[in-house]
Amino acid sequence: MSKTSNWVIAEEVAHAIRLGDPVVALESTLIVHGLPSPRNLEVAQELEAIVREAGVVPATIAVVGGVPHVGVSANKLAQLANSPDVRKLAPRDLAMAKVFGVPGATTVASTAFIAHAVGIKCFATGGLGGVHRGYQESFDESNDLTTLAATPIVVVSSGVKSILDVAATLERMESLGIGLVGYQTDFFPGFYLSTTEFRLEWRCESAHEVAQVFRQQREIGVSSALVVANSIKPSAQLDPSLHDELLKQALAAANANDVSGKAITPFLLEYFHTNSAGQSLHVNVEIVKGNARLAAEIASSLAAPSDI
Ligand code: PSU
Ligand code: MN
């Protein structure tokens, strides 16, 4: 019995995978824990619509009744988003979720893990998890990084969340051997901000080039993910001075409230959303939409016959 045999794969998704048609995986932690209700469920639908408009099949991934679902229905996602204390599940939690029959949202790590296991090659999110500020004391580094190091899938993101220690995260990505290219940018994006000061070593101009790089990785046996860093355009970014001010306040509030571990990322994002009069929420949604659009293009290129 394969590890995926009791998973629920939507018929449309299973069909596309069988035929080699393009599919884009979407995660559920971002919806359930990263965005406020009721906007979160609308966003989930908008993301799927963006992928569909590009002629690609969307597959939102979540755990329902302990079982990974690939291509979860709007109804099931709403149930998940509305149930209290729904867990944030990393790959290491999937076995326990199954045994105890609990629902959960999948992080970048578990979405990538599940998507790869069923044969999906491309995935879109907002910002990856990474190394938290103060990691020297807390050892808080997202499992997203270690999982992506061992999961061959294209992940489109706007860098890592700007609440993190970006320099340390980039160093860890290098140590872990995670592939990284900028999409039409020479600088690592700053999630809510179009750019950081960190220069990227590689840049792709098109979805086609990204697909070529990923195919090449697979061909030579590089088994890490390929992270595609896609920036929000400068005119749509969060005002940088507002960003810096909110970040200072959010970190102080997390500290004062003793927030740590899995709760820290949702806490900081929520702080931004409630204290920016909706501006950060708007930017966060735009980021993820842009990434879903690009992921659909890349998935299409990956499904087209190879020219290398
Ligand atoms: N991107 C967003 N919002 C989010 C996340 C990503 O725009 O909420 C989620 C992802 O699911 C990612 C998680 O895996 O945050 C990272 O959590 P942690 O730092 O606890 O590993
Ligand atoms: Mn953590």
Give the span between the Cα atoms of 132 and 182, in whole angstroms.
22
DSSP, collapsed to helix, strand or coil, labels residue 70 as strand
For ligand 2, a single-atom ion, which residues have Cβ within 5 Å?
140
Does 82 fall in a domain? yes
Give the span between the Cα atoms of 49 and 45, in whole angstroms.
6
The pocket around ligand 1, CB under 6 angstroms, is made up of: 27, 29-30, 33-34, 107-109, 125-127, 129, 142-144, 262, 265, 269, 284, 288
pLDDT tens for 79-121 read 998 888 899 999 999 999 999 999 999 999 999 999 999 999 9
Minimum-distance ligand 1 atom for the alpha carbon of 266: 8
Contact 284, 34 (CB under 8 A): yes
Give the span between the Cα atoms of 150 and 146, in whole angstroms.
7
> Is the pTM higher than 0.85?
yes
Class of residue 46 by CB neighbours under 10 A (exposed 0-12, middle 13-18, buried 19+): middle
pLDDT at residue 3 in the model: 75
Does 213 fall in a domain? yes
pLDDT at residue 209 in the model: 98
Does 77 fall in a domain? yes
| Active-site residue (options: 27, 48, 141, 297) | 27
Minimum-distance ligand 1 atom for the alpha carbon of 142: 21
pLDDT tens for 8-54 read 999 999 999 999 999 999 999 999 999 999 999 999 999 999 999 99
Residue 82 in tokens: 């509305």
Packed helices 279-303 and 39-53: angle between N→C axes, nearest 10 degrees: 30
For ligand 1, atom 16, name the residue with the nearest CA.
129
Catalytic-residue membership of 289: no
| CATH code of 193's domain | 3.40.1790.10
pLDDT tens for 134-161 read 999 999 999 999 999 999 999 999 999 8
Does 167 fall in a domain? yes
Minimum-distance ligand 1 atom for the alpha carbon of 132: 19
For residue 141, how far is its CA from the centre of ligand 2 (angstroms)?
A: 5
On the question of pLDDT at 306 being above 80, the answer is: no
Q: Which residues contact 17 (CB under 8 A, 6 or more apart)?
A: 9, 23, 118, 119, 120
Q: Which residues contact 166 (CB under 8 A, 6 or more apart)?
A: 130, 159, 160, 188, 190, 196, 198
Q: Which DSSP symbol is given to 205?
A: S
Q: Can you give the residue range of the structural domain that contains 275? A: 2-303
| Active-site residue (options: 88, 121, 161, 289) | 161
For residue 61, how far is its CA from the centre of ligand 1 (angstroms)?
A: 14
Packed helices 264-275 and 240-256: angle between N→C axes, nearest 10 degrees: 130
Give the span between the Cα atoms of 150 and 224, in whole angstroms.
5
The phi-psi region of residue 163 (left if phi > 0; otherwise alpha if psi is between -120 and 50; otherwise beta) is: alpha
Does 308 fall in a domain? no
Pinpoint the alpha helices (H) of the chain: 11-19, 29-32, 39-53, 74-82, 94-100, 108-118, 135-138, 143-149, 166-176, 207-220, 240-256, 264-275, 279-303
Contact 10, 59 (CB under 8 A): yes
Q: For the chain, how many structural domains are there in total?
A: 1
pLDDT at residue 1 in the model: 57
Proximal ligand: closest to the CA of 165: 1
Contact 188, 196 (CB under 8 A): yes
For residue 285, how far is its CA from the centre of ligand 1 (angstroms)?
A: 14
